[in-house]
Amino acid sequence: MKNRAVFLDRDGVINQVILKNGRPHPPTSLKNLKIIPGVKEAISRLKEAGFIIIVVSNQPDVARGTLDRKNVEEINRWLGYKLLIDSFMICYHDDSDMCSCRKPRPGMLVSAAKQWQLDLTGSFMVGDRWKDISAGNAANCTTLFINYGYNEEQPESSDYIVGSLFEAANLILGDKNAQ
């Protein structure tokens, strides 16, 4: 039997983003990292239900030279420890690199599926940007878009629109009180 996963984007899904001109940016260190309320409970409930929790995150600021890779890895280690995340798949490339791992391409999800023996059609992708949702759609996952109204392109289609990871977990777990 294959496993099922909940893929999570990191910035904006697990931790708060830093907004600049209505556009989201990642925290640059543990000092400015803040976990979004309800995230720890949502992940705990998903894990209790048997889902593997995998973070799939684009971190292009490393390729652009505006963020140090060791800071990204330090944040990930801390989040993994605090939230009991099973795996982190990170793309450090910029759009111009044309790699297969950078969302909206599904490379990180497909790679994780091989590593964890996942059924992608029984898995979920939760993200706050169009690239997250496009990657989830390309991998045949059920997609849940957290709509913060960023000043940028919106997803063409997602299976659900929610206000938080907590709401997304309720939908995934079939909670009758989910919005």
pLDDT tens-digit series, residues 81-126: 999 999 999 999 998 899 999 999 999 999 999 999 999 999 999 9
Number of folded domains that form the chain: 1
Interhelix angle 165-172/39-48, rounded to 10 degrees, is 20
135 found inside a domain: yes
Q: Give the residue carrying structure tokens 């045949």.
A: 140
* Candidate ranges 10-14, 25-29, 96-100; pick with highest mean pLDDT: 10-14
Q: Is 9 a catalytic residue?
A: yes
179 found inside a domain: no
CA dihedral (18, 19, 23, 28) in degrees, to 10, reads -20
Active-site position among 9, 61, 128, 132:
9
Residue 39 vs residues 36, 42, 83: alpha-carbon distances, Å: 6, 5, 8
Q: Is 68 a catalytic residue?
A: no
pLDDT of residue 1: 63
Average pLDDT (132-138) is 98
150 found inside a domain: yes
Active-site position among 11, 61, 128, 132:
11
pLDDT of residue 176: 44
18 found inside a domain: yes
177 found inside a domain: no
32 found inside a domain: yes
178 found inside a domain: no
Percent over 90 (pLDDT), the chain: 89
pLDDT of residue 179: 41
Assign 28 a pLDDT band (cuts: 50, 70, 90). very high
> Angle at Cα 64 formed by Cα 19 and Cα 22, nearest 5°?
15
User: What are the phi and psi torsion angles at 106 (to 5°)?
Assistant: -90, 15
Average pLDDT (3-29) is 95
| Rg (alpha carbons) of the chain, rounded to whole number | 15
Which range marks the domain in which residue 121 is found? 5-172
Determine which helix (DSSP H) or strand (DSSP E) holds 162, and give its type and residue range: strand 160-162
Percent over 70 (pLDDT), the chain: 97
Looking up residue 79, the CATH number of its domain turns out to be 3.40.50.1000
Predicted TM-score of the model (pTM): 0.95
99 found inside a domain: yes
pLDDT higher than threshold 80 for residue 42: yes
> Angle at Cα 158 formed by Cα 73 and Cα 1, nearest 5°?
70
CB of 8 within 8 A of CB of 39? no
pLDDT higher than threshold 90 for residue 57: yes
